[in-house]
Amino acid sequence: MFMTNASVSSVMTITAVTDKDLEKHSRISAFVIDSKAKGVTVAKKEDKLGCRASDTCYVTFEDVYVPETQLLGQRGQGWKYFMEILDAGRIGIGAMALGLAEGAFDKALEYARERKTFGKAIGAHQGVAFMLADMKVEIEAARNLIYHAARLKDAGKPFALEAAMAKLFSSEMAMRVCRNAIQVLGGYGYMTEYGVERYYRDAKLCEIGEGTSEIQRLVISRHLLGKIT
């Protein structure tokens, strides 16, 4: 329903049911279509919580003619293609979460060194220092999960489980780190001046895009348990 860059794109990649009588994952095919084709309607750019520079629009299709020449790959393989894209995209979302967390952490660390209370930098207070230590540990743990999944993908090895774990941990880590960065900055963290509130808003997408955290847990548990009854 929501499509990234819909208002500025010249083509779209979509999936549609092409063979209703086949097994569910073989019913769907992928297509490339003209964004200006008759029946394609792109609504206004959505007003979002975060990632506001990324264009997201609601798209509808009504009696759109799609010739067979616009089939993407093989008929009936659309589900497979999109799932493969999701697996790879989860590494990218994990990397995005990592970058947001690092940005927020750097701001918090700099502020903790400069801001003084009771005659010393707030970083010298154990409550703040321990918070920064935990943020750093989580960032490095996420980095290793992401790099491991990326190495497997680059080597042509199975990586779906590792990508799901990297995405799950990194996205939830980013929310914790960005939230704590705001806490370190206190009132200034809540203002737009230092930018950490933007990191926090942007990070929320990472828990949703390319599959929610709940979906990642479902993917991981299925890899561990297989099909059980």
Closest CA to 185 of 130, 123, 99, 137: 123
Q: Is the pLDDT of residue 227 over 80?
A: no
Q: Which two tokens stand for residue 65?
A: 């003619």
Radius of gyration of the chain, Cα coordinates, nearest whole angstrom: 22
Read off the pLDDT of each residue in 119-123 and give the average, rounded to a whole number.
97
Q: What single string gives the DSSP state of each residue in 54-107? A: S-EEEEEESS----GGGEESSTT-HHHHHHHHHHHHHHHHHHHHHHHHHHHHHH
- Mean pLDDT score of the chain: 96
Q: Is the pLDDT of residue 183 over 90?
A: yes
Q: What is the dihedral of CA 107, 201, 88, 53, to 10 degrees?
A: -100
pLDDT tens-digit map of 2-29 = 899 999 999 999 999 999 999 988 999 9
Per-residue model confidence (pLDDT) at position 98? 98
Are 65 and 85 part of one and the same domain?
Answer: no
Per-residue model confidence (pLDDT) at position 24? 86
First to last CA, the chain: 33
Please give the tally of structural domains in the chain: 2
Are 123 and 186 part of one and the same domain?
Answer: yes
Are 48 and 109 part of one and the same domain?
Answer: no
Are 160 and 99 part of one and the same domain?
Answer: yes
The CB density around residue 101, as the number of other CB atoms within 10 Å, is: 29
What type of residue is 149?
Answer: A
Are 65 and 106 part of one and the same domain?
Answer: no
Cα angle for residues 200, 203, 209 (degrees, 5° grid): 155
Read off the pLDDT of each residue in 78-101 and give the average, rounded to a whole number.
96
Listed in order, strand segments (DSSP E) in the chain are 2-4, 11-17, 28-34, 40-45, 56-61, 71-72, 116-117, 120-121
Distances (CA, A) of 73 to 63, 146, 156, 220: 23, 29, 20, 28
Are 63 and 108 part of one and the same domain?
Answer: no
Are 96 and 47 part of one and the same domain?
Answer: no
* CATH number of the domain encompassing residue 21: 2.40.110.10
210 annotated active-site: yes
Per-residue model confidence (pLDDT) at position 1? 78
Per-residue model confidence (pLDDT) at position 228? 76
Surface-to-core class of residue 92, CB atoms within 10 Å of its CB (0-12 exposed, 13-18 middle, 19+ buried) = middle
* CATH number of the domain encompassing residue 164: 1.20.140.10
Distance in angstroms (rounded) separating the CA atoms of residues 85 and 82:
5
Q: Which residues make beta-bridge pairs with 33?
A: 12
What type of residue is 219?
Answer: V
Are 90 and 172 part of one and the same domain?
Answer: yes
pLDDT tens-digit map of 130-172 = 999 999 999 999 999 999 999 999 999 999 999 999 999 999 9
The CB density around residue 78, as the number of other CB atoms within 10 Å, is: 25
Distance in angstroms (rounded) separating the CA atoms of residues 142 and 182:
20
Question: Considering 138, 162, 172, 210, which one is annotated as catalytic?
Answer: 210
